[in-house]
Structure 1
Protein backbone atom coordinates (compact mmCIF):
# COMPACT_ATOMS: atom_id res chain seq x y z
CA UNK A 1 0.00 0.00 0.00
CA UNK A 2 1.37 3.43 -0.95
CA UNK A 3 0.48 6.52 1.06
CA UNK A 4 1.20 10.16 0.49
CA UNK A 5 -0.92 11.73 3.18
CA UNK A 6 -1.49 15.44 3.50
CA UNK A 7 -5.01 16.73 4.14
CA UNK A 8 -6.24 14.37 1.45
CA UNK A 9 -4.47 11.91 -0.86
CA UNK A 10 -5.07 8.97 -3.15
CA UNK A 11 -3.65 5.53 -2.38
CA UNK A 12 -3.01 2.26 -4.18
CA UNK A 13 -3.92 -1.10 -2.66
CA UNK A 14 -5.52 -4.41 -3.58
CA UNK A 15 -7.71 -3.82 -0.50
CA UNK A 16 -10.70 -1.48 -0.97
CA UNK A 17 -11.23 0.28 2.33
CA UNK A 18 -14.27 2.38 3.20
CA UNK A 19 -14.60 3.85 6.65
CA UNK A 20 -12.46 5.09 9.53
CA UNK A 21 -9.21 3.64 10.76
CA UNK A 22 -7.73 5.57 13.67
CA UNK A 23 -7.53 9.20 12.62
CA UNK A 24 -7.78 8.35 8.90
CA UNK A 25 -10.92 8.28 6.76
CA UNK A 26 -11.00 6.06 3.63
CA UNK A 27 -13.53 6.48 0.81
CA UNK A 28 -13.98 6.42 -2.96
CA UNK A 29 -14.18 9.74 -4.85
CA UNK A 30 -14.83 9.80 -8.59
CA UNK A 31 -13.44 6.28 -9.00
CA UNK A 32 -10.27 6.93 -6.97
CA UNK A 33 -9.42 5.59 -3.52
CA UNK A 34 -8.95 8.58 -1.21
CA UNK A 35 -7.68 8.88 2.34
CA UNK A 36 -7.72 11.98 4.52
CA UNK A 37 -7.15 12.90 8.12
CA UNK A 38 -10.13 13.59 10.35
CA UNK A 39 -10.91 17.28 10.42
CA UNK A 40 -11.28 17.54 14.15
CA UNK A 41 -14.32 19.74 13.61
CA UNK A 42 -16.37 20.17 16.75
CA UNK A 43 -20.02 21.10 16.24
CA UNK A 44 -20.52 22.46 19.73
CA UNK A 45 -17.37 24.56 19.49
CA UNK A 46 -18.57 25.96 16.16
CA UNK A 47 -21.81 27.11 17.81
CA UNK A 48 -20.28 28.62 20.95
CA UNK A 49 -16.56 29.26 20.64
CA UNK A 50 -15.43 32.86 20.09
CA UNK A 51 -12.76 31.63 17.68
CA UNK A 52 -15.52 30.57 15.27
CA UNK A 53 -17.41 33.86 15.47
CA UNK A 54 -16.33 35.13 12.05
CA UNK A 55 -17.05 31.74 10.49
CA UNK A 56 -20.53 31.73 12.04
CA UNK A 57 -21.20 35.24 10.70
CA UNK A 58 -20.10 34.33 7.19
CA UNK A 59 -22.06 31.08 7.27
CA UNK A 60 -25.25 32.82 8.39
CA UNK A 61 -25.02 35.52 5.72
CA UNK A 62 -24.09 33.01 3.02
CA UNK A 63 -27.14 30.89 3.83
CA UNK A 64 -29.37 33.95 3.71
CA UNK A 65 -28.02 35.08 0.33
CA UNK A 66 -28.36 31.58 -1.10
CA UNK A 67 -32.03 31.39 -0.08
CA UNK A 68 -32.85 34.86 -1.44
CA UNK A 69 -31.09 34.05 -4.71
CA UNK A 70 -33.19 30.91 -5.03
CA UNK A 71 -36.39 32.91 -4.40
CA UNK A 72 -35.51 35.22 -7.30
CA UNK A 73 -34.44 32.41 -9.62
CA UNK A 74 -37.61 30.39 -9.06
CA UNK A 75 -39.57 33.19 -10.74
CA UNK A 76 -37.20 33.31 -13.70
CA UNK A 77 -36.52 29.62 -14.31
CA UNK A 78 -37.82 29.55 -17.89
CA UNK A 79 -35.60 32.50 -18.88
CA UNK A 80 -32.55 31.17 -17.04
CA UNK A 81 -32.78 28.01 -19.14
CA UNK A 82 -32.35 30.18 -22.24
CA UNK A 83 -29.03 31.50 -20.92
CA UNK A 84 -27.14 28.23 -21.31
CA UNK A 85 -24.81 29.24 -18.49
CA UNK A 86 -23.87 26.38 -16.15
CA UNK A 87 -22.40 28.84 -13.65
CA UNK A 88 -25.31 31.27 -13.57
CA UNK A 89 -26.60 30.07 -10.20
CA UNK A 90 -23.21 30.68 -8.62
CA UNK A 91 -22.90 34.09 -10.30
CA UNK A 92 -26.34 35.12 -9.05
CA UNK A 93 -25.49 33.92 -5.53
CA UNK A 94 -22.33 36.05 -5.69
CA UNK A 95 -24.46 39.02 -6.78
CA UNK A 96 -26.74 38.54 -3.74
CA UNK A 97 -23.65 38.47 -1.50
CA UNK A 98 -22.28 41.68 -3.00
CA UNK A 99 -25.65 43.40 -2.58
CA UNK A 100 -25.89 42.16 1.02
CA UNK A 101 -22.50 43.75 1.72
CA UNK A 102 -24.10 47.16 1.08
CA UNK A 103 -26.28 46.77 4.19
CA UNK A 104 -25.01 49.35 6.67
CA UNK A 105 -27.99 49.03 9.00
CA UNK A 106 -27.35 45.63 10.58
CA UNK A 107 -24.21 44.23 12.18
CA UNK A 108 -21.99 41.76 10.36
CA UNK A 109 -23.49 38.29 10.55
CA UNK A 110 -27.01 39.72 10.29
CA UNK A 111 -26.70 41.83 7.13
CA UNK A 112 -29.33 41.07 4.50
CA UNK A 113 -30.11 41.51 0.83
CA UNK A 114 -33.28 43.50 1.51
CA UNK A 115 -31.35 46.37 3.08
CA UNK A 116 -28.62 46.21 0.46
CA UNK A 117 -31.00 46.23 -2.48
CA UNK A 118 -32.85 49.21 -0.99
CA UNK A 119 -29.78 51.33 -1.74
CA UNK A 120 -29.28 52.95 -5.14
CA UNK A 121 -26.04 51.01 -5.61
CA UNK A 122 -27.66 47.69 -4.70
CA UNK A 123 -30.57 48.16 -7.08
CA UNK A 124 -28.19 49.19 -9.86
CA UNK A 125 -26.14 46.04 -9.32
CA UNK A 126 -29.30 43.98 -9.80
CA UNK A 127 -30.14 45.90 -12.97
CA UNK A 128 -26.62 45.50 -14.37
CA UNK A 129 -26.52 41.73 -13.89
CA UNK A 130 -26.21 39.88 -17.19
CA UNK A 131 -27.90 36.52 -17.58
CA UNK A 132 -25.45 34.36 -19.50
CA UNK A 133 -24.72 35.68 -22.99
CA UNK A 134 -28.03 37.54 -23.23
CA UNK A 135 -27.34 41.30 -23.03
CA UNK A 136 -28.78 43.21 -20.07
CA UNK A 137 -31.30 45.99 -20.65
CA UNK A 138 -28.87 48.80 -19.80
CA UNK A 139 -30.80 51.97 -20.76
CA UNK A 140 -33.21 50.22 -23.13
CA UNK A 141 -36.23 50.28 -20.80
CA UNK A 142 -37.62 52.48 -18.06
CA UNK A 143 -40.76 52.03 -15.95
CA UNK A 144 -42.83 54.63 -14.15
CA UNK A 145 -45.80 54.04 -11.86
CA UNK A 146 -49.25 55.50 -12.38
CA UNK A 147 -52.29 55.26 -10.12
CA UNK A 148 -53.60 51.96 -11.47
CA UNK A 149 -50.91 50.79 -13.84
CA UNK A 150 -47.31 51.14 -14.99
CA UNK A 151 -45.88 52.81 -18.05
CA UNK A 152 -43.00 51.07 -19.81
CA UNK A 153 -40.92 53.27 -22.08
CA UNK A 154 -38.78 51.54 -24.69
CA UNK A 155 -35.72 53.12 -26.24
CA UNK A 156 -36.71 54.18 -29.78
CA UNK A 157 -33.62 52.47 -31.19
CA UNK A 158 -34.76 49.04 -29.94
CA UNK A 159 -36.68 46.96 -32.48
CA UNK A 160 -38.79 44.22 -30.85
CA UNK A 161 -42.12 42.55 -31.50
CA UNK A 162 -42.83 41.23 -28.00
CA UNK A 163 -42.22 42.47 -24.47
CA UNK A 164 -42.61 40.22 -21.43
CA UNK A 165 -42.93 41.84 -18.02
CA UNK A 166 -42.53 39.67 -14.95
CA UNK A 167 -43.60 41.27 -11.67
CA UNK A 168 -41.78 39.56 -8.80
CA UNK A 169 -42.97 39.62 -5.21
CA UNK A 170 -40.15 38.66 -2.84
CA UNK A 171 -40.68 37.78 0.82
CA UNK A 172 -37.24 38.37 2.32
CA UNK A 173 -38.22 36.98 5.72
CA UNK A 174 -39.85 33.71 4.63
CA UNK A 175 -37.67 33.24 1.51
CA UNK A 176 -40.72 32.86 -0.70
CA UNK A 177 -41.62 34.45 -4.03
CA UNK A 178 -44.47 34.88 -6.47
CA UNK A 179 -44.56 36.32 -9.97
CA UNK A 180 -47.06 37.51 -12.54
CA UNK A 181 -46.30 37.34 -16.24
CA UNK A 182 -47.70 39.86 -18.72
CA UNK A 183 -47.05 39.71 -22.47
CA UNK A 184 -47.21 42.93 -24.48
CA UNK A 185 -47.40 42.94 -28.26
CA UNK A 186 -44.98 45.50 -29.64
CA UNK A 187 -45.86 45.20 -33.31
CA UNK A 188 -47.08 48.77 -33.50
CA UNK A 189 -44.27 51.37 -33.66
CA UNK A 190 -44.83 52.67 -30.12
CA UNK A 191 -42.24 53.59 -27.54
CA UNK A 192 -44.55 53.53 -24.51
CA UNK A 193 -46.61 50.59 -23.30
CA UNK A 194 -48.93 50.10 -20.35
CA UNK A 195 -49.05 47.07 -18.07
CA UNK A 196 -51.05 46.52 -14.91
CA UNK A 197 -50.08 46.60 -11.27
CA UNK A 198 -50.04 43.29 -9.46
CA UNK A 199 -49.83 42.43 -5.77
CA UNK A 200 -50.01 45.03 -3.01
CA UNK A 201 -47.98 48.21 -2.96
CA UNK A 202 -46.87 47.19 0.53
CA UNK A 203 -45.09 44.17 -0.95
CA UNK A 204 -41.45 44.26 -2.08
CA UNK A 205 -41.75 44.13 -5.87
CA UNK A 206 -39.31 43.92 -8.76
CA UNK A 207 -39.82 44.09 -12.51
CA UNK A 208 -37.99 41.79 -14.90
CA UNK A 209 -38.34 42.62 -18.59
CA UNK A 210 -37.67 40.37 -21.58
CA UNK A 211 -37.38 41.85 -25.08
CA UNK A 212 -37.98 39.46 -27.97
CA UNK A 213 -37.65 39.69 -31.74
CA UNK A 214 -38.78 36.86 -34.03
CA UNK A 215 -39.30 34.69 -30.93
CA UNK A 216 -35.68 35.19 -29.81
CA UNK A 217 -34.65 36.96 -26.62
CA UNK A 218 -32.42 39.90 -27.53
CA UNK A 219 -32.20 41.57 -24.10
CA UNK A 220 -33.48 40.89 -20.60
CA UNK A 221 -32.93 41.95 -17.03
CA UNK A 222 -34.30 43.86 -14.06
CA UNK A 223 -35.56 47.40 -14.46
Structure 2
Protein backbone atom coordinates (compact mmCIF):
# COMPACT_ATOMS: atom_id res chain seq x y z
CA UNK A 1 0.00 0.00 0.00
CA UNK A 2 1.41 3.38 -1.01
CA UNK A 3 1.79 6.23 1.49
CA UNK A 4 0.50 9.71 0.72
CA UNK A 5 3.33 12.22 0.68
CA UNK A 6 1.19 15.23 -0.21
CA UNK A 7 0.16 17.75 2.44
CA UNK A 8 -3.39 17.34 1.09
CA UNK A 9 -5.00 14.51 3.02
CA UNK A 10 -7.41 12.74 0.69
CA UNK A 11 -10.10 10.24 1.59
CA UNK A 12 -12.35 8.39 -0.85
CA UNK A 13 -11.88 7.06 -4.37
CA UNK A 14 -10.52 8.79 -7.44
CA UNK A 15 -10.56 6.64 -10.54
CA UNK A 16 -9.28 3.24 -9.42
CA UNK A 17 -7.30 4.61 -6.47
CA UNK A 18 -8.80 4.62 -2.97
CA UNK A 19 -7.44 6.93 -0.26
CA UNK A 20 -7.93 5.78 3.34
CA UNK A 21 -6.92 6.93 6.82
CA UNK A 22 -5.16 4.30 8.95
CA UNK A 23 -3.35 4.26 12.30
CA UNK A 24 -0.15 4.87 10.37
CA UNK A 25 -1.48 7.87 8.48
CA UNK A 26 -3.13 8.29 5.10
CA UNK A 27 -2.61 5.55 2.51
CA UNK A 28 -3.48 5.04 -1.15
CA UNK A 29 -4.32 1.68 -2.67
CA UNK A 30 -5.72 0.39 -5.89
CA UNK A 31 -9.46 -0.19 -5.68
CA UNK A 32 -10.41 -3.85 -5.84
CA UNK A 33 -12.77 -4.87 -8.61
CA UNK A 34 -15.19 -7.74 -8.17
CA UNK A 35 -16.80 -9.26 -11.24
CA UNK A 36 -20.54 -9.80 -11.55
CA UNK A 37 -19.87 -13.52 -11.98
CA UNK A 38 -18.05 -13.63 -8.64
CA UNK A 39 -20.87 -11.82 -6.86
CA UNK A 40 -23.41 -14.17 -8.44
CA UNK A 41 -21.65 -17.41 -7.51
CA UNK A 42 -19.09 -16.98 -4.74
CA UNK A 43 -20.03 -18.21 -1.27
CA UNK A 44 -18.37 -15.11 0.13
CA UNK A 45 -21.05 -12.95 -1.47
CA UNK A 46 -24.06 -14.90 -0.21
CA UNK A 47 -25.19 -12.03 2.04
CA UNK A 48 -24.70 -9.60 -0.83
CA UNK A 49 -26.93 -11.68 -3.09
CA UNK A 50 -29.60 -11.88 -0.41
CA UNK A 51 -29.52 -8.13 0.13
CA UNK A 52 -29.65 -7.47 -3.61
CA UNK A 53 -32.65 -9.78 -4.03
CA UNK A 54 -34.65 -8.09 -1.28
CA UNK A 55 -33.64 -4.61 -2.42
CA UNK A 56 -34.73 -5.42 -5.96
CA UNK A 57 -38.04 -6.81 -4.72
CA UNK A 58 -38.69 -3.66 -2.68
CA UNK A 59 -37.95 -1.52 -5.72
CA UNK A 60 -40.27 -3.53 -7.96
CA UNK A 61 -43.17 -3.52 -5.51
CA UNK A 62 -42.74 0.20 -4.91
CA UNK A 63 -42.96 0.78 -8.66
CA UNK A 64 -46.17 -1.26 -8.92
CA UNK A 65 -47.73 0.71 -6.05
CA UNK A 66 -46.82 4.00 -7.73
CA UNK A 67 -48.25 2.80 -11.03
CA UNK A 68 -51.53 1.84 -9.36
CA UNK A 69 -52.04 5.46 -8.30
CA UNK A 70 -50.26 7.17 -11.19
CA UNK A 71 -53.42 9.08 -12.17
CA UNK A 72 -53.29 10.92 -8.85
CA UNK A 73 -49.51 10.98 -8.51
CA UNK A 74 -49.06 13.12 -11.61
CA UNK A 75 -50.89 15.90 -9.75
CA UNK A 76 -48.94 15.55 -6.49
CA UNK A 77 -45.31 16.34 -7.17
CA UNK A 78 -43.34 15.06 -4.20
CA UNK A 79 -39.55 15.06 -3.86
CA UNK A 80 -37.68 11.74 -4.04
CA UNK A 81 -40.92 9.76 -3.87
CA UNK A 82 -39.25 6.72 -5.46
CA UNK A 83 -36.42 6.55 -2.93
CA UNK A 84 -38.67 7.37 0.02
CA UNK A 85 -41.14 4.65 -0.94
CA UNK A 86 -38.27 2.20 -1.48
CA UNK A 87 -37.10 2.88 2.08
CA UNK A 88 -40.58 2.10 3.43
CA UNK A 89 -40.87 -1.02 1.27
CA UNK A 90 -37.60 -2.29 2.72
CA UNK A 91 -39.10 -1.93 6.20
CA UNK A 92 -42.08 -3.99 5.01
CA UNK A 93 -39.77 -6.68 3.59
CA UNK A 94 -37.67 -6.88 6.74
CA UNK A 95 -40.84 -7.42 8.80
CA UNK A 96 -41.36 -10.78 7.04
CA UNK A 97 -40.87 -13.43 9.75
CA UNK A 98 -41.87 -16.34 7.50
CA UNK A 99 -39.19 -16.56 4.81
CA UNK A 100 -35.37 -16.75 5.01
CA UNK A 101 -33.08 -13.87 4.07
CA UNK A 102 -33.09 -13.22 0.37
CA UNK A 103 -36.65 -14.51 0.01
CA UNK A 104 -38.44 -12.11 2.35
CA UNK A 105 -41.19 -10.19 0.58
CA UNK A 106 -43.84 -7.52 1.07
CA UNK A 107 -46.80 -9.91 1.02
CA UNK A 108 -45.45 -11.82 4.02
CA UNK A 109 -44.14 -8.62 5.58
CA UNK A 110 -46.10 -5.81 7.20
CA UNK A 111 -47.78 -3.73 4.50
CA UNK A 112 -49.56 -1.76 7.22
CA UNK A 113 -46.28 0.16 7.61
CA UNK A 114 -47.25 2.01 4.42
CA UNK A 115 -50.35 3.57 5.99
CA UNK A 116 -49.67 7.27 6.38
CA UNK A 117 -47.08 7.40 3.59
CA UNK A 118 -47.03 10.86 2.00
CA UNK A 119 -46.44 10.88 -1.74
CA UNK A 120 -45.82 14.62 -1.61
CA UNK A 121 -43.53 15.32 1.33
CA UNK A 122 -43.74 19.05 0.59
CA UNK A 123 -47.49 19.10 1.29
CA UNK A 124 -48.47 16.28 3.62
CA UNK A 125 -52.15 15.53 4.13
CA UNK A 126 -52.17 15.76 7.92
CA UNK A 127 -50.90 19.34 7.69
CA UNK A 128 -53.05 20.34 4.73
CA UNK A 129 -56.34 19.01 6.12
CA UNK A 130 -57.23 19.52 9.79
CA UNK A 131 -60.65 17.85 9.58
CA UNK A 132 -61.26 14.52 11.35
CA UNK A 133 -62.10 12.44 8.30
CA UNK A 134 -62.80 8.70 8.46
CA UNK A 135 -61.88 5.86 6.11
CA UNK A 136 -63.11 2.32 5.61
CA UNK A 137 -62.36 -0.72 3.47
CA UNK A 138 -65.03 -3.38 3.04
CA UNK A 139 -63.16 -6.37 1.65
CA UNK A 140 -66.37 -8.38 1.13
CA UNK A 141 -67.94 -5.78 -1.17
CA UNK A 142 -64.74 -4.21 -2.49
CA UNK A 143 -65.97 -0.76 -1.43
CA UNK A 144 -63.48 1.74 -0.05
CA UNK A 145 -64.74 5.00 1.42
CA UNK A 146 -63.45 8.37 2.61
CA UNK A 147 -65.84 10.49 4.68
CA UNK A 148 -65.11 14.15 5.38
CA UNK A 149 -67.40 16.04 7.78
CA UNK A 150 -68.86 19.48 7.13
CA UNK A 151 -66.10 22.06 7.52
CA UNK A 152 -65.13 25.67 7.03
CA UNK A 153 -62.46 25.53 4.30
CA UNK A 154 -60.47 28.59 5.36
CA UNK A 155 -60.22 27.21 8.91
CA UNK A 156 -59.45 23.55 8.22
CA UNK A 157 -57.72 23.45 4.84
CA UNK A 158 -54.25 24.95 4.39
CA UNK A 159 -54.41 26.34 0.86
CA UNK A 160 -51.48 27.89 -1.01
CA UNK A 161 -51.44 31.55 -1.95
CA UNK A 162 -53.59 32.23 -4.98
CA UNK A 163 -55.91 29.25 -4.54
CA UNK A 164 -59.62 29.93 -4.94
CA UNK A 165 -60.89 26.34 -5.09
CA UNK A 166 -59.92 22.85 -4.00
CA UNK A 167 -60.88 19.32 -4.87
CA UNK A 168 -60.79 16.15 -2.76
CA UNK A 169 -59.69 12.97 -4.53
CA UNK A 170 -59.53 9.35 -3.50
CA UNK A 171 -58.31 6.15 -5.07
CA UNK A 172 -58.51 2.49 -4.16
CA UNK A 173 -56.41 -0.37 -5.49
CA UNK A 174 -56.02 -4.11 -5.09
CA UNK A 175 -52.45 -5.05 -5.93
CA UNK A 176 -50.97 -8.41 -6.90
CA UNK A 177 -47.32 -7.80 -6.09
CA UNK A 178 -46.26 -11.24 -7.31
CA UNK A 179 -47.83 -10.79 -10.75
CA UNK A 180 -47.05 -7.04 -10.75
CA UNK A 181 -50.65 -6.20 -11.67
CA UNK A 182 -53.39 -4.13 -10.07
CA UNK A 183 -56.99 -2.98 -10.31
CA UNK A 184 -57.70 0.62 -9.33
CA UNK A 185 -60.68 2.96 -9.12
CA UNK A 186 -60.90 6.70 -8.44
CA UNK A 187 -63.37 9.40 -7.51
CA UNK A 188 -63.05 13.15 -7.12
CA UNK A 189 -65.24 15.86 -5.68
CA UNK A 190 -66.41 18.83 -7.76
CA UNK A 191 -64.38 22.04 -7.53
CA UNK A 192 -65.18 23.48 -4.11
CA UNK A 193 -64.66 27.15 -3.14
CA UNK A 194 -62.02 27.85 -0.52
CA UNK A 195 -64.04 30.32 1.52
CA UNK A 196 -65.26 30.96 5.06
CA UNK A 197 -68.63 29.42 4.19
CA UNK A 198 -69.28 25.96 5.63
CA UNK A 199 -68.86 23.19 3.07
CA UNK A 200 -71.21 20.20 3.26
CA UNK A 201 -70.04 16.77 4.39
CA UNK A 202 -68.42 14.78 1.60
CA UNK A 203 -68.14 11.06 0.86
CA UNK A 204 -65.92 9.58 -1.86
CA UNK A 205 -65.71 5.92 -2.83
CA UNK A 206 -63.59 3.54 -4.88
CA UNK A 207 -64.56 0.02 -5.92
CA UNK A 208 -62.37 -3.01 -6.47
CA UNK A 209 -63.05 -6.74 -6.80
CA UNK A 210 -65.41 -8.03 -4.08
CA UNK A 211 -63.89 -10.61 -1.73
CA UNK A 212 -60.41 -10.02 -3.13
CA UNK A 213 -57.60 -11.82 -1.31
CA UNK A 214 -55.02 -9.29 -2.44
CA UNK A 215 -53.67 -6.34 -0.42
CA UNK A 216 -55.98 -3.31 -0.61
CA UNK A 217 -54.86 0.32 -0.49
CA UNK A 218 -56.87 3.53 -0.12
CA UNK A 219 -55.35 6.93 -0.87
CA UNK A 220 -56.76 10.40 -0.40
CA UNK A 221 -55.59 13.80 -1.52
CA UNK A 222 -56.31 17.50 -1.88
CA UNK A 223 -55.75 19.46 -5.09
CA UNK A 224 -55.75 23.26 -5.38
CA UNK A 225 -56.84 25.50 -8.23
CA UNK A 226 -57.29 29.11 -9.20
CA UNK A 227 -60.53 29.95 -10.98
CA UNK A 228 -60.41 32.60 -13.70
CA UNK A 229 -63.49 33.26 -15.83
CA UNK A 230 -64.90 29.82 -15.23
CA UNK A 231 -61.67 27.93 -15.92
CA UNK A 232 -59.80 26.14 -13.12
CA UNK A 233 -56.02 26.28 -13.31
CA UNK A 234 -53.80 23.94 -11.28
CA UNK A 235 -51.25 25.69 -9.06
CA UNK A 236 -47.61 24.93 -9.91
CA UNK A 237 -48.41 21.50 -11.41
CA UNK A 238 -49.23 19.89 -8.10
CA UNK A 239 -46.48 21.21 -5.86
CA UNK A 240 -49.02 22.05 -3.12
CA UNK A 241 -51.29 19.02 -3.59
CA UNK A 242 -51.36 16.44 -0.81
CA UNK A 243 -51.70 12.69 -1.44
CA UNK A 244 -51.42 10.05 1.26
CA UNK A 245 -52.06 6.35 1.83
CA UNK A 246 -54.84 6.62 4.40
CA UNK A 247 -55.74 2.94 4.87
CA UNK A 248 -54.23 -0.47 4.15
CA UNK A 249 -55.93 -3.86 4.43
CA UNK A 250 -53.45 -6.64 3.78
Whether TM-score is above 0.5 comes out as yes
What's the counterpart of residue 136 of structure 1? 125
Which residues of structure 2 form unaligned runs of 5+? Answer: 1-5, 18-28, 158-165, 193-197, 226-233
Where in structure 2 are the equivalents of 1:74-153 lying within 5 Å?
Answer: 74-117=67-110, 122-123=111-112, 125-130=113-118, 131-137=120-126, 140-145=133-138, 147=141, 149-153=143-147
Offset at 1:110?
0.9
Offset at 1:71?
0.7
Whole-angstrom CA distance in 2 between matches of 1:141 and 1:107: 38
Please give the secondary structure, in 2, of the residue aligned with 1:115. Answer: coil
Q: Retained in 1: the 8 A contact 2:149–2:202?
A: no
Which residues of structure 1 form unaligned runs of 5+? Answer: 11-23, 26-35
- Mark the CA change 1:59 to 1:83 in structure 2 (over 3 Å): closer, same or farther: same
Whole-angstrom CA distance in 2 between matches of 1:6 and 1:189: 60
**Residues 1:164 and 2:196 are matched in the alignment:** no
2:216 to 182, 198, 205: 205
Offset at 1:82?
4.2
Whole-angstrom CA distance in 1 between matches of 2:98 and 2:66: 26
The alignment's C-alpha RMSD in Å is 3.5
Q: TM-score scaled to structure 1, two decimals?
A: 0.68
2:47 to 54, 57, 60: 54
- Mark the CA change 1:151 to 1:7 in structure 2 (over 3 Å): closer, same or farther: closer
Where in structure 2 are the equivalents of 1:153-192 lying within 5 Å?
Answer: 153-157=147-151, 159=153, 162-185=167-190, 189-191=199-201
Whole-angstrom CA distance in 1 between matches of 2:137 and 2:152: 19
Offset at 1:85?
3.8
Whole-angstrom CA distance in 2 between matches of 1:149 and 1:85: 28
Aligned residue pairs total 192
- Mark the CA change 1:71 to 1:6 in structure 2 (over 3 Å): closer, same or farther: same
Offset at 1:164?
1.6
- Mark the CA change 1:41 to 1:6 in structure 2 (over 3 Å): closer, same or farther: farther
